[in-house]
Amino acid sequence: MISAIIPVSDPRYLENQMELLKYQEIKQLIILDSSLQIKNNIPNDKRITIIEENSFDHGVTRNKGAKLSSYPILLFMTQDAKPFGEEFAREIIKSIDEKIKGVYGKHLTTNQANLFERIERKFVYPDEKIIKFQGYNFKDIFVSNVCFAVESRTFEELGGFPEGVICSEELVLSKKILSNGFSIMYNPKITVIHQHDEKTSEIFKRWFDVGVAFSKNPTISSKFRSHALKLALFVFLIILKEKPKLIPELTKRYVTRGLAIEIGKRHKLLKAAGVDLKKISNNKNFWLKFDR
C-alpha cells in the first residue's frame, strides 16, 4: 500500500530507514542516496530500491523517488526521523480517503532534546487530530516532510513538489492540495522520533533558508508571522514559569531565528554586495544549481 521515499546523505542514519521494513504495509522503500555509501550496507530485501544521487535538491530528489513508486500512497520522510509505534503505517492508510489526500504525523523527542524543542513540539504537534480544509493561515497549510504521506494520484495530478526550491517544498504542495478542494490531516497517532540540537550558527543557517523560501512564496510568508509570535509566546510563558534562568538563551534563539528569516528574504541584496551565500545557508546545492 505504501511507498516510503527518503533522501539520505549520511549513512549513519540508515538504521532509521531499516525500521520501516518492520511494517508490512510498507511495500517499497526508495532510498535516494547522495552519500554514495549505502548500497553495500543494506539487507537483502526486495522492497528496497537504492538510487544514487550526485547531488540533492528538496523537490527534484523527492519527485524522482515518487516516479519510481508502484503503490497508492507516497510516504516522504527525512533521514533523521525514526518511525515509532506499532500502528504507524496502518494509521497512514486509515487517514487517506476520497477527501483527505495528505497526512502528517507527530514528532516525538527523546529525553536528550533541549527544553526549548520539547516545548515547541507541544505547540506544533498537539495530541488532538486536526483536519485542514482551507489555507487561511500558516497553521492551516503547515505540514512537515519529516513524515508526510500523500495519495500518489493526487501528488502526480498536482505536479508533485516544486523543484529548484531551497526548502519548505512541502508547504507549497500543501497549499496546492487545499486550494484544489481537498483536505489534509494531522494524525498524532502517526509518530516519529525527530529532534534537532542546534548551535546558534545552525539555527541561523536553517532559518536563513526558510527566509529565502519565503521570499519566493510571499503568500506563505505573510501567513507565518502571527504563527511565529504565538509559538514564541507559548514557549516564553512556559520557560518563565519553569526555568526563568533560560530566558536569555530563549531570547537569543528567537532573535537569531527572526533575523535569519528577514535576512534570507533579502538575500539578493547580500548577493549583490558580494556575500557568498553558501557560507550562511544549510542548502549549499541550491546556490550551486538553481540560484539566478
Pair 42, 184 in one domain: yes
Percent of the chain whose pLDDT exceeds 90:
76
Pair 186, 239 in one domain: no
Please give the C-alpha separations between residue 213 and each of 134, 155, 260, 263, in angstroms, as whole numbers: 21, 21, 12, 12
Residues paired with 50 in a beta bridge: 31
Structural domains of the chain, count: 2
Pair 224, 259 in one domain: yes
- Please, what is the average pLDDT of the chain? 93
Pair 164, 205 in one domain: no
Q: What is the pTM of this model?
A: 0.93
Domain boundary among 162, 193, 224: 193
Pair 285, 213 in one domain: yes
Pair 126, 156 in one domain: yes
| 292 has a pLDDT exceeding 60 | no
Domain boundary among 164, 193, 222: 193
Please give the C-alpha separations between residue 1 and each of 29, 100, 229, in angstroms, as whole numbers: 12, 16, 40
| 175 has a pLDDT exceeding 60 | yes
Quick one: pLDDT band at residue 291, thresholds 50, 70, 90?
Answer: low
